[in-house]
């Protein structure tokens, strides 16, 4: 059993990748990392990880596709390849997850319509809430939300709980 984390080419949120990955791997589930291009990617806090490219992704191999947040993940808001990965994973019944601002990717892929979802929610910027609601999502201020095969979380502080919810959904 395997899951795939999708990170930005730069400035992904370190703990939103590393904490859920640790939780998932401790549960005996293998985790792989992908980005638009292959190679070493650096998070906002300096973590360096190796990623395969989108072209190397074989969706059927994974139980879950997980989009990691952080400022860099905005590169996927309108990226046709990233949106297609989310859409296709959902169509074939995979668990699709996103944390922080990354639920906007799922909304833009059209898979949050009518779904309850968490997203980054700061007092000064409600842009992400607006972005997912505009695409038909029902915003929830819970830290981690599961609605069917979709799991969303609000940000770095929810990273470990996000990983636990993914493990629970996979093992269920």
Spans of all domains in the chain: 2-171
| Architecture of domain 2-171 in this structure | 3-Layer(aba) Sandwich (3.40)
Return d(Cα 24, Cα 47) in angstroms, integer: 18
pLDDT at residue 100, rounded to an integer = 97
Beta-strand relationship, 116-117 and 30-35: unpaired
Is residue 129 packed enough to be buried (19+ CB in 10 Å), middle (13-18) or exposed (0-12)?
Answer: buried
pLDDT in tens, 47-65: 999 999 999 999 999 999 9
Quote the pTM value.
Answer: 0.98
Please provide the average confidence, as pLDDT, over all residues in the chain.
Answer: 97
pLDDT at residue 1, rounded to an integer = 84
pLDDT at residue 126, rounded to an integer = 84
């Amino acid at each position: 059993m395997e899951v795939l984390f999708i990170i930005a080419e730069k400035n992904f949120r370190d703990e939103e990748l590393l904490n859920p990955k640790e939780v998932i791997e401790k549960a005996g589930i293998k985790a792989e990392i992908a980005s638009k291009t292959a190679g070493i990617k650096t998070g906002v806090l300096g973590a360096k990880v190796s990623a395969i490219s989108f072209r190397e992704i074989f969706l059927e191999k994974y139980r879950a596709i997980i989009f990691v947040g952080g400022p860099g993940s905005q590169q996927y808001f309108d990226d046709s390849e990233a949106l297609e990965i989310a859409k296709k994973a959902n169509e074939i019944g995979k668990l699709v997850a996103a944390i922080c601002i990354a639920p906007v990717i799922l909304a833009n892929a059209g898979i949050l319509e009518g779904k309850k979802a968490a997203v980054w929610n700061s007092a000064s910027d409600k842009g992400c809430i607006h972005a997912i609601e505009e695409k038909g999502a029902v915003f929830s201020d819970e830290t981690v939300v599961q609605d069917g095969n979709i799991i969303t979380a609000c940000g770095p502080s929810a990273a470990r709980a996000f990983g636990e919810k993914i493990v629970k959904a996979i093992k269920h």
